């Protein structure tokens, strides 16, 4: 079906109040009434105006129309989302002789109800589940290992008594469960937008994001940690203490290790349903030649070791 822009038909903005919509409707009805208008399409125009006001003049129908029609333009092909019909509960059916009625005709129940407008649907005759809210929450890697609690603030839209859409602050306490991974969504039931006509509220979905950390890199449940080691620890081998997100561990550096070597600690990644691994990436760090003694040692190494690090590339 083609989308109809009821706001454009009445000549009002989408932010118009209920009073502004009613005023515009009365003006257009007087202008196009078939008994007084000389327009050739006065009858069809009046029907279109009544249809638009029947929806926008009802707070619940207007909210449903705004939700389903978001982002569509007049004349554009319109297809409701596949599961949208499950959100509505009609107490009485209608004639389905206009755009709005066509949207809901296949979920109508019962016979014709009273108090209908141009579309033949009773006011306040349906319930709609509120829209879900999607947001992000940032945590530290340690929170994924231990779990945590956070307080978040959201700005949510709400209609004030005069019909204007306003925003209000909403504060929630959120429990970060142990074992969450990047991109995982936490669902807070009933914390989304309010339902329409007594319908249930939507849900709040928080996508987990990890704060940047220069020491760690995270891929799913796998964690990569850069570990600096001294040249003699890498060359001769050593037992070193390494701080990790789950606590300090003793690690054996194999003799002859080079920068970039990975040491795998199985099961010490993020403790999700399938725990990840922790990979320690060795980074050989040279002591500075900032003293006479340090320079003497470097000179002795250069003289006695005859080491050419570029030999492999033919230099």
Work out the angle at residue 147's Cα, subtended by the Cα atoms of residues 145 and 148, and round it to the nearest 5 degrees.
135
* Helix, coil or strand: residue 85: helix
29 with 37: CB under 8 angstroms? no
The strand pairing partners of 136, in sequence order, are: 207
Measure the CA–CA gap between 236 and 283, rounded to whole angstroms. 15
250 versus 34: which is more confidently predicted? 250
Topology of domain 216-288 in CATH is: HSP40/DNAj peptide-binding domain (2.60.260)
Across the chain, the runs of DSSP E, i.e. the strands, are 133-139, 148-159, 165-176, 185-188, 204-210, 216-219, 222-229, 238-242, 249-253, 262-265, 278-284
> Could you tell me which CATH number the domain at 6-107 has?
1.10.287.110
Hey, where are the domains in the chain?
6-107, 133-210, 216-288
Taking domain 133-210, whether its CATH number is 3.40.190.10 is answered by no
- 155-170 pLDDT, tens digit each: 776 666 766 667 788 8
Give Dmax over CA atoms of the chain in angstroms.
111
pLDDT computed for residue 96 by the predictor: 36
Same fold across 133-210 and 216-288: yes
Work out the angle at residue 97's Cα, subtended by the Cα atoms of residues 93 and 99, and round it to the nearest 5 degrees.
100
The token pair at 265 is: 């600690």
- 249-295 pLDDT, tens digit each: 999 999 999 999 999 999 999 999 999 999 999 999 999 999 999 99
Chain-centre distance for alpha carbon 177: 18
Q: Which of 1-10, 141-150, 300-309 shows the lowest per-residue confidence on average (mean pLDDT)? A: 1-10
- 57-115 pLDDT, tens digit each: 887 778 777 776 655 554 445 454 444 444 444 344 444 345 555 555 433 333 333 34
pLDDT band at 2 (very low <50, low <70, confident <90, very high): low
């Amino acid at each position: 079906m083609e989308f109809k822009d009821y706001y454009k038909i009445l000549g009002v903005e989408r932010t118009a109040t209920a009073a502004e919509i009613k005023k515009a409707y009365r003006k257009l009805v007087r202008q196009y009434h078939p008994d007084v208008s000389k327009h050739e399409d006065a009858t069809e125009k009046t029907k279109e105006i009544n249809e638009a006001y029947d929806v926008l003049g009802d707070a619940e129908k207007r909210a449903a129309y705004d939700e389903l029609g978001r982002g569509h333009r007049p004349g554009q092909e319109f297809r409701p989302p596949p599961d949208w019909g499950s959100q509505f509960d009609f107490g009485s059916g209608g004639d389905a002789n206009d755009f709005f009625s066509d949207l809901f005709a296949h979920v109508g129940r019962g016979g014709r109800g009273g108090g209908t407008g141009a579309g033949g649907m009773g006011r306040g005759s349906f319930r709609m589940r509120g829209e879900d809210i999607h947001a992000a929450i940032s945590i530290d890697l340690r929170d994924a290992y231990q779990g945590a609690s956070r307080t978040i603030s959201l700005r949510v839209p709400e209609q004030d008594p005069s019909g204007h859409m306003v925003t209000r602050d909403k504060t929630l306490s959120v429990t970060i469960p142990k074992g969450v991974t990047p991109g995982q969504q936490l669902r807070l039931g009933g914390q989304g937008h309010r339902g329409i006509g007594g319908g249930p509220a939507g849900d709040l979905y928080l996508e987990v994001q990890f704060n940047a950390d220069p020491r760690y890199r995270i891929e799913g449940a796998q964690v990569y940690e850069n570990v600096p080691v001294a040249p003699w620890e890498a060359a001769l081998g050593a037992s070193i203490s390494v701080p990790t997100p789950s606590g300090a561990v003793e690690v054996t550096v194999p003799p002859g290790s080079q920068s970039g070597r990975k040491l795998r600690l199985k099961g010490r990644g993020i403790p999700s349903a399938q725990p990840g691994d922790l990979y320690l990436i060795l980074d050989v760090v040279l002591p500075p030649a900032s003293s006479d003694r340090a320079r003497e040692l470097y000179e002795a190494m250069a003289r006695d070791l005859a080491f050419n690090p570029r030999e492999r590339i033919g230099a």
